[in-house]
Each structure stands twice: as C-alpha cells, then as structure tokens.
Amino acid sequence: MPVLTPSTEEARIYECIVLFSLQLSEKEYAQALASIEQIFEEKGGKKLAKDVWGKQGLAYPIKKQTEGQYVVYLYELSPESAQAIDAALILEKPVLRHLLVKIPKHYEFVTFAERASAWAKEKENEVQEKEKEREETLKQKMIHRAAKAAPPKEASKPLVPDAGGSLEEKLGEIISDEDLRL
C-alpha cells in the first residue's frame, strides 16, 4: 500500500484497532462491524483501509476472555471527530477494547497477511541457512576424521585421491567404516 497522507490540511489519518469478543455469533459480529463503520461515517470519516486479523490470543483476560477478534481500520478524520468516535466506541457493547491513534506522517500501512507471509519466508530462509551450516559442519568433521583414520602415506602422495578415484567414492568408503562415530 502506498504511503498515507491526509487529503486536506485539517484532516488527520487515524488507526483504530477494535477487539471483539469471540462469543459473538457471525450475525452479531457482522452487525458490530457495520455499527463501528457507521460511527466513523456519521462523524465524517473516510475509510482508507480495513484489515481483519481474526482470532488472536490476549496477553491477559478481558471480561473473562482470553481470545478475541481484532479488526484494524484506517480512517481520515478531523481531530474533533476522532474524540467523538473514541467516546462512542467506549459505549459499544460488543467491543471489548479499542485504541484510536493518530498515525505519523508518511506512514506505510502493511496488512497482517503481508506481515505474516514475510515473517514465514524469513523463518524458512533461516531454517535453510541452519541446515546448510549443519551439513557443512558435518562434512568438515567427516573429512577431518577421514584424515585421522587414513594410514600414513608417503609424503609425495596427496590426501585427495588421484584422477583414478573420486572424492565421493572415498567418502563413501569412510562413511561405511564401522569405527566411524559422529
């Protein structure tokens, strides 16, 4: 999403995070979302984005609930409207908690799904890097042990097999050795 900037000098962009109870039926949840959006529209808000996070755990119980449904809105409002909306959201029954904040200039909004996919890719890359490092370490250990286990050779013979044999064959012989303990 592009960088968000207000359309007029007196308008501000606000982010509103709303936490709903999980005990709401689908119909009640849809009505609650419509009610929240209606409050913003009545106060002259212009909806810029809506990001449904879905079911998430809570850090501490709120009204005896440990999970809730999060929805994040981005609206363009006047500061007076923001205060009125904040007061109206306190009175909404299905809302467990809400937070309405003015975002900084040149704020770039990224959806929850985009963040989650970027995080998953990052974790996958970390796992692949660790696997490569582990394989390289294991390979180095095998080469080191092979050098120790090999019978002493003449000074003129190199440790690496000549053109007649391949390194893979030599490693295969070393790995099949029953005395090798990794």
The verdict on 25 and 97 lying in the same domain is yes
User: What's this model's pTM, rounded to 2 decimal places?
Assistant: 0.61
144 and 88 together in one domain: no
Q: Assess if residue 1 is contained within a domain.
A: no
Q: H helices of the chain, where?
A: 26-42, 79-91, 112-149, 167-175
pLDDT tens-digit map of 81-107: 999 999 999 999 899 999 999 988 777
122 is a domain residue:
no
136 and 105, same domain (yes or no): no
The total number of structural domains in the chain stands at: 2
Mean pLDDT of the chain: 83
Could you read off the pLDDT of 133-170 as tens digits, one per residue? 998 888 888 888 888 777 665 555 555 545 456 777 77
